Each structure stands twice: as structure tokens, then as C-alpha cells.
Amino acid sequence: MPRIARLVPCAFSIALLLPAGVRAQAVDAEAVHWAYSTWFGTGWYRIGDTRDAFAVRYAPRRLVREQSIAGGERHYGLEVRVPVTVGLEHFPLDDLPGSVDPENFASVSVTPEVHVQVPVSERWTLRPFAALGWGTVLNGDESAWTWWAGLRSRYRMDAGRLGWSWLYSVAVVGHSPSEGPSSNFWPVMTAFEFDYPFGAREWQGEALFVNWHVAYTWFADELELFGPDRRFEQIRDQWQLGIGIHKADSPISMWRLRFDRLTLVYRVSSDGELRGIGLDFRSLFDL
């Protein structure tokens, strides 16, 4: 049966949505445009000392055709996703059920994606991708088209029991709002991912692995965010560190959800103006 993944990882940075108190108006002059939240994914982020942002992204996906390379014959893979992203007014740690109350929703976006996997060799895989979608502020008049396209590369290596991969990606991400000018930015990322057996521990009948990664993203066009003092913050880059667990051959199952991995991630820009904590549920290559 086709593989259906239930949650998309927290990719980087800002949940880029409307903060508390914004739902009653179409545009908040202090808010980073919420339309980008569907690219950045699930997470909590802080801009400067006081501006917080929250978003939750859910992305059902269907594997139309699996990639393979054997006997000199190459077969491309094809995957279709339909990410749905909800911007939240607030995310109280002492009232998690309240965070998913519809009254707490500030914006919603739906952005269908197409991913193609190209097996260059048994170790090297490329993944071109593209998306186009639409979103709107709830209880407001503002809406926007959001789009992106790019290419990811992964080269897989093994050193005894230690597995590691070098990843690289380049993309362009843009939005065209119903009010105001269009804009875009270019994230360029390089990263290393590692995994190692977690001793003799097992989970759900399979060997358990520890995974960790380090990634650096440079913005070829600086990412502009509104800081708490109404000034633009120019974000030039982002560092990302993650540590988590995954099973040897199958996804982790929790209730009706399935995750390729569970990874706690910390993100910070070099100047410290952007900070965030989130969860990744897939490899950075498969975001």
C-alpha cells in the first residue's frame, strides 16, 4: 500500500504567522507574513526578546512510485503531499489542549507539493520539489498564494555501526498576498546527519537508533522579520542542532500517528535574534 506520513518535520525558523491579538484585523504591521509558515513548518520561535510565533503543520502524503536503482536500471520516485498549516494565537505549555481549540486559530494554509526522487547511485540521491498553495487569515480579509521550488541532495556513507549522510539543498520561497507586494527568499542549506544503534534497546519489537544532525542555512536574499520594536530584523543565516531516536526499519507508531523519527531540534541565527525549539519527524532530506 502507498506510504502515508502523518506529520511534516519542523524545517527551520519562524512559524511566520500572526501573533496574539491579530485575528481581528487583516494585517498586523508588526507581523512577519503568515503565508510562509507552511514552508517553515511546526514550531515555536522567538524574534528578538519578546515576539513569539507558533504554527502546526500536518502533511498527508502519498508515495505514487518508489525510487530504486539496481542492475544498472534507474527508476524515479514520485510523492505527492498536501500540507495544511494552522497559525496559532498562543501556545501555553500549561494548557496544551487549549492550543488546538478552534478559537485559538489565527490563519490556515493548504499547499500541495510534488517531490521526485532521482537515484544517481546507490549512495547519492537527488530530490527536486515544487509547491503552490493558498492561505487566509481567519476572521479577516487577507489571503495569499504561496509557492516554492528547489533541489535537495543526499550522499549516504557508513563507518562501521555509524551511519552518516551529507545533505545539501537550495530553494526559492515566495508569496503573493491579496494586499501588498509579493516577496521571496532563497534558503541554501548544508547539513550532516548521523545515526548509531542505541545499545541493545528495542522499541515496538525493533532495534532502536539514536540520530543527530547539525545544519547551517544561509539566506542568499536576507530574510526580513519585524522585531518587537517595529524595526526590520535582517536574518542572514540559521544554525540547527537536533538529537532524537528512530527504529531500524519501520516508523514509530503512537496512537494513530506514525513518525519516521522523533528529533528534538534547537535553532538559532548567528546574531541570536531568531531562536526556536521544535520537533522533526523525518530526515532533513525528506522534509
Residue 128 is predicted with a pLDDT of 97
Does 263 have pLDDT greater than 70?
Answer: yes
| Residue 17 located in a structural domain | no
Give the pLDDT mean for 210-223: 89
| Residue 178 located in a structural domain | yes
| Residue 153 located in a structural domain | yes
Angstrom distances, CA of residue 81 to CA of 84, 113, 118, 212, 241: 10, 5, 17, 25, 26
Maximum average pLDDT range among 39-48, 56-65, 93-102 = 56-65
| Average pLDDT across the chain, whole number | 77
Residue 210 is predicted with a pLDDT of 94
At 243, the pLDDT band (50, 70, 90 cuts) reads very high
Spatial distance between the Cα atoms of 117 and 66, rounded to a whole number of angstroms: 8
| Residue 26 located in a structural domain | no
Domain of residue 231, CATH code? 2.40.128
pLDDT of 93-102, one tens digit each?
Answer: 555 555 555 6
Q: Which residues contact 101 (CB under 8 A, 6 or more apart)?
A: none
Domain count, the chain: 1
Does 27 have pLDDT greater than 80?
Answer: no
Give the pLDDT mean for 35-54: 68
- The residue with greater pLDDT, 269 or 254, is 269
| Residue 3 located in a structural domain | no
Spatial distance between the Cα atoms of 120 and 285, rounded to a whole number of angstroms: 15
Give the pLDDT mean for 65-80: 89
Strand 232-247, strand 183-185: pairing: unpaired
Spatial distance between the Cα atoms of 88 and 21, rounded to a whole number of angstroms: 11
Q: Which of 256, 241, 246 is nearest to 282 (CA)?
A: 246
| Residue 29 located in a structural domain | no
Q: Which of 229, 219, 224, 217 is nearest to 267 (CA)?
A: 217
Give the pLDDT mean for 41-67: 77
| Residue 21 located in a structural domain | no
- The Cβ of residue 87 has, within 10 Å, a number of other Cβ atoms equal to 29
Domain of residue 111 covers: 34-286
| Residue 282 located in a structural domain | yes
